[in-house]
């Protein structure tokens, strides 16, 4: 499981906190323990430097309560990380543990139970703790005497940010991704680019644009490349847009895909013709494979569903859906 949360981030954190037995955390600033009450068995690394305490960025009283409940506390000045391990799940994002983060600011985080990610996060916090100053009774007594000088509150209205669905909430769809032949596939659109940046696309004719526009948020798409077979399954995260409007992340920066490295040779072939310009639909891949590892439709009897149309609803092809779910390791 891996999902991205913004408006729902604190609901997810509260759910995980209430169900977990052990928390291993590195959160730069901590002033609120309403959702997570650290106690025996928990490990927390924060920036509890004199500057952070004086500015009200980390709370002495919150740390004191956690210490009294038996949590192991450490101070690392200059810490800016925000990650929380709840048993076998980790939340990595932008949010500090504060009322401001919960109620005023736009935060986002990735929640995953991927074993390697959880283990790496836990190892990071444990190693960070070894390089930190332990917060003991003497430390707490000293910072408790520091005068807190808070700046005036900033009035911010947090807008609703839709980060896309975190699970299947639409229909199962077949999506054909290719040019017209094996020789030209990749000249106009590339599966390598689609895997890397998370999208399916079509264009060049009005009917292809309309097909992309039919895909809705939450639809689960099974991607088929003619000649090769089925290569991926994912969830639609955004409605279709023109290539010039599609944003991707490159080296930590968000840029238009036209500024990103691409393997296709003519990616903007129809961009000057708005009515038929390539339409991209953002997809969060659940499982994706290279073309050489595609699942052949004729490996089954009867063969898996295929169609010359770009987008098809698979409601009348339950055997194909079940075969693809098994192939991609889907539980539902």
Q: What is the pLDDT along the chain (332 residues), one digit of tens a residue?
A: 678 888 778 888 888 888 888 888 988 898 888 888 898 999 999 999 998 898 888 999 999 999 999 999 999 998 999 999 998 899 999 988 888 888 778 888 899 988 888 898 889 989 999 999 999 999 999 999 988 875 544 434 444 444 455 454 579 999 999 854 344 455 678 898 899 889 999 988 999 999 999 998 889 999 999 989 999 999 998 889 888 788 888 877 788 888 888 887 666 677 778 888 899 999 999 999 988 899 998 888 889 999 999 999 999 999 999 999 999 998 77
Residue 148 belongs to some domain of the structure? no
Last residue of a domain, one of 143, 159, 191: 143
Residue 80 belongs to some domain of the structure? yes
Asked if 125 and 222 sit in the same domain, the reply is no
Last residue of a domain, one of 126, 143, 160: 143
Asked if 86 and 37 sit in the same domain, the reply is yes
Asked if 323 and 186 sit in the same domain, the reply is yes
Asked if 120 and 220 sit in the same domain, the reply is no
Residue 150 belongs to some domain of the structure? no
* HSE of 301, CA atoms in CB hemisphere, 13 A: 0
Asked if 66 and 109 sit in the same domain, the reply is yes
CATH number of residue 123's parent domain: 3.30.870.10
Q: Is 121 exposed, middle or buried (0-12, 13-18, 19+ CB in 10 A)?
A: buried
Asked if 322 and 182 sit in the same domain, the reply is yes
Asked if 42 and 190 sit in the same domain, the reply is no
Asked if 133 and 176 sit in the same domain, the reply is no
pTM attached to this predicted model: 0.52
E-strand ranges in the chain read: 2-5, 23-27, 43-46, 72-75, 82-86, 89-93, 109-112, 133-134, 172-176, 199-202, 220-225, 229-236, 241-242, 247-250, 253-256, 279-288, 311-313
Asked if 187 and 40 sit in the same domain, the reply is no
Asked if 105 and 54 sit in the same domain, the reply is yes
Ramachandran sector of residue 164 (left: φ over 0; alpha: ψ -120 to 50; beta: rest): left
Asked if 135 and 177 sit in the same domain, the reply is no
Residue 300 belongs to some domain of the structure? yes
Residue 208 belongs to some domain of the structure? yes
CATH number of residue 213's parent domain: 3.10.590
Convert the pLDDT of each residue in 172-215 to its tens digit. 999 999 854 344 455 678 898 899 889 999 988 999 999 999 99
DSSP β-ladder status, 279-288 and 241-242: antiparallel
Number of domains in the chain: 2
Asked if 295 and 195 sit in the same domain, the reply is yes
Convert the pLDDT of each residue in 159-176 to its tens digit. 444 445 545 457 999 999
Q: Two tokens at 294? A: 């595609």
Cα R_g (the chain), whole angstroms = 24
Query: What residues make up the domain containing 28?
Result: 2-143
Last residue of a domain, one of 143, 162, 192: 143
pLDDT for residue 166: 47
């Amino acid at each position: 499981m891996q999902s991205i949360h913004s408006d729902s981030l604190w609901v997810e954190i509260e759910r995980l906190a209430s169900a977990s037995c052990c928390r291993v955390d590195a959160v730069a600033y901590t002033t609120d323990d309403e959702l997570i009450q650290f106690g025996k068995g928990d490990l927390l690394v924060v920036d509890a430097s004199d500057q952070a305490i004086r500015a009200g960025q980390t709370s002495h009283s919150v740390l004191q309560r956690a210490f009294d409940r038996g949590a192991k506390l450490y101070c690392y000045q200059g810490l800016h990380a925000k990650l929380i391990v709840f048993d076998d799940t980790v939340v990595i994002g932008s949010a500090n543990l504060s009322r401001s983060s919960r109620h005023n600011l736009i935060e986002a985080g990735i929640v995953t139970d991927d074993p390697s990610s959880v283990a790496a996060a836990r190892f990071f916090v444990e190693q960070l703790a070894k390089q930190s100053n332990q917060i003991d009774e003497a430390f707490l007594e000293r910072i408790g005497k520091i005068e807190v000088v808070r700046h005036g509150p900033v009035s911010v209205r947090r807008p609703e940010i839709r980060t896309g669905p975190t699970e299947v909430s639409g229909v199962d769809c077949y999506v054909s991704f290719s040019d017209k032949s094996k020789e030209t596939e990749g000249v106009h659109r590339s599966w390598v680019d689609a895997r890397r940046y998370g999208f399916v696309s079509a264009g060049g004719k009005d009917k292809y644009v309309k097909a992309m526009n039919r895909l809705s948020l939450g639809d689960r798409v099974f991607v088929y490349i003619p000649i090769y077979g089925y290569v991926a399954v994912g969830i639609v995260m955004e409605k279709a847009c023109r290539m010039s409007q599609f944003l991707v992340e490159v080296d930590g920066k968000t840029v238009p895909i036209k500024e990103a490295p691409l393997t296709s040779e003519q990616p903007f072939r129809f961009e000057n013709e708005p009515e038929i310009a390539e339409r991209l639909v953002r997809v969060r891949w659940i499982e994706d494979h290279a073309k050489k590892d595609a699942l052949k439709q004729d490996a089954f009897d009867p063969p898996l569903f295929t169609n010359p149309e770009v987008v098809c609803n698979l409601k009348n092809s339950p055997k194909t859906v079940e075969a693809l779910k098994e192939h991609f390791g889907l539980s539902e």
